[in-house]
Amino acid sequence: MSETIDQISKVHRPVLGEDIPIFVFRAFRHFTANYVTQMLGRSATTVFQNAGRDLGRDAGALLKRPTLDEYLKEVVTFTTNLRIGNLKPVEINQKHMILGLEECITCVGMDNIGKRICHFEVGFVAGIVEAFTGTRVRGHESKCNAAGEGICEVTIDLGEA
Ligand SMILES: [Zn+2]
């Protein structure tokens, strides 16, 4: 049994409140990623991507709208309101979907470490797309702030994976 979005969204911190510095989120996020990578090597990418995918599917089910256009608007509003980042559709056609994520919560502003690291976000976007299409899709990070590329960008391949 895993926790649901509804369960983990219930916060009761009357004194400390609901906000934390981004740095704290990143400490959990990056130290966990480093450790899992030490343990699992390259399959760590799959772990984070598939975790993001599960979350994306659940979030997508809550945000679902009848048309792709309305749905993506809803997703953009959701990611902005939660300050995950500013999601910008770059290119959408039958073959693929390219979405930029400006001000990515995970990596914007950090040092260039020469690699793309937002595997969770890639999975999240893939899961969001899957909630709409009902089929499994492949995704990869085509740009990342952590690699010095100035933005994070997720490319989703719409062929079946
Ligand atoms: Zn990134």
Can you spell out the DSSP letters for 128-150? Answer: HHHHHHSS-EEEEEEE-GGGTSS
Tokens linked to 123: 């999975």
pLDDT per residue as tens digits for the range 4-35 = 989 999 999 999 999 999 999 999 999 999 99
Instruction: Count CA atoms within 13 Å of residue 116 on its CB side.
Output: 18
What is the percent of the chain where pLDDT is above 70? Answer: 98
**Cα 65 to middle of ligand 1, angstroms:** 27
Report the pLDDT value the prediction gives residue 102, as an integer from 0 to 100: 97
**Cα 83 to middle of ligand 1, angstroms:** 15
Q: What is the assigned CATH class of domain 20-160?
A: alpha beta
Q: What's the rounded Cα separation, in Å, for the pair 154 and 128?
A: 12
**Cα 101 to middle of ligand 1, angstroms:** 8
Amino acid, single-letter form, for residue 86:
N
Do 148 and 75 form a contact (C-beta atoms < 8 A)?
A: no
pTM for this structure?
0.92
Q: What's the rounded Cα separation, in Å, for the pair 114 and 38?
A: 18
pLDDT per residue as tens digits for the range 140-161 = 999 999 999 999 999 999 975 4
**Cα 104 to middle of ligand 1, angstroms:** 7
Residue ranges with CB less than 5 Å from ion ligand 1: 107, 118, 144, 152
**Cα 153 to middle of ligand 1, angstroms:** 7
Q: What's the rounded Cα separation, in Å, for the pair 149 and 151?
A: 6
pLDDT per residue as tens digits for the range 37-94 = 999 999 999 999 999 999 999 999 999 999 999 999 999 999 999 999 999 999 999 9
Using only C-alpha atoms, what is the Rg of the chain? Answer: 16
